[in-house]
Chains A and B, each alone.
Chain A
C-alpha cells in the first residue's frame, strides 16, 4: 500500500500561534481527509481536503480555525490557527487508497502530536 508521510510528528506551541501540518502521499489519491484525536478519545473528522477547491468542513470545524490546502493529488496541509490549550490533540492525515482489487480503503499517516501551552 502507499505511504502517507506526515510532519511534524510532534510539536509544542505557544497559545495564539499557528502550526501547519504537512501530509504527503507517495501516489496520487482522490480523497484526503484530516482527523483530530483528542486525548483519550476516538477520531473526529475535521474536513475533506478537495483538490483544486475549498475543503469541506464537518460540523463544529471552520475554515478560519483550520485552513486546509490541497494543491495537488499527493499533498495537503492543515493549519491550526490561533491555538489554545484546547487544541492539544493528535492530528491525523488520511487518504483513500486502492488495494490490488481496486477496493478503496482508508489509510492514515503517523499523526502529529500537538501540545499547546
Chain B
C-alpha cells in the first residue's frame, strides 16, 4: 500500500501536457541538487542533477531549472505520461558535507 505522499501537495496534469514541479531549497550555499522520483513501495530514483554553476540542465523529457537568487529549483516533465505518476523530491547538498537535505515532496498525478 502507498504510505508515501498521503499528505504531500499534489499536482494533477493531463496526460500529454507538460508538468512543472517546484522546490524551494534552504541553504544558499548549496552547490549541488538532485531530483528524485519515488513510486509507491520503492526507494527514490535519481532523475537528474544540476550544479550551482548552471541554471538549466536537460535530460530525456526532463529539464531542471535553478534560480539561485530566490533559492528555487524546478523540474519540468515534457509530455507527461501515466508512468510519471509518483512523488517527486528535490535534494540539496550543502558545500563541505556529504549530506543531502530533502524537500517536502510533490505528488504528481497524471490524468488519462
Our verdict on whether A and B bind, yes or no, reads: yes
Residues of A within 8 A of B (CB): 1, 4, 6, 31, 33, 37, 39-45, 48, 90, 92, 94, 96, 103, 105-111, 113
Chain A residue nearest to B42 (CB atoms) is A110
Cross-chain contact B8 with A108 (CB below 8 angstroms): no
Whether A39 contacts B34 in the complex (CB less than 8 A), given A108-B44, A110-B42, comes out as no
Whether A48 contacts B98 in the complex (CB less than 8 A), given A40-B6, A40-B8, A43-B89, comes out as yes
Residues of B within 8 A of A (CB): 3-8, 34, 36, 41-46, 49, 89, 91, 93, 98-100, 102-105
Q: How far is the CB of B8 from chain A (nearest CB, A)?
A: 6
Cross-chain contact B46 with A107 (CB below 8 angstroms): yes
Cross-chain contact B49 with A105 (CB below 8 angstroms): yes
Q: Which residues of A contact B103 (CB under 8 A)?
A: 42
Residue pairs across A and B with Cβ atoms less than 8 A apart, 9 shown, are: A39-B7, A40-B6, A40-B8, A43-B91, A44-B102, A105-B34, A106-B34, A111-B41, A111-B42
Cross-chain contact B91 with A106 (CB below 8 angstroms): yes
Q: Is the interface of A mostly helix, strand, loop or mixed?
A: strand
Q: How far is the CB of A102 from chain B (nearest CB, A)?
A: 14
Docked CA distance A28–B13 (Å): 41
Cross-chain contact A96 with B6 (CB below 8 angstroms): no
**Residue among A37, A39, A92, A109 with the most chain B CB within 10 A?**
A37
Q: Which residues of A contact B46 (CB under 8 A)?
A: 1, 105-107
Whether A43 contacts B44 in the complex (CB less than 8 A), given A105-B34, A105-B49, A106-B34, comes out as yes
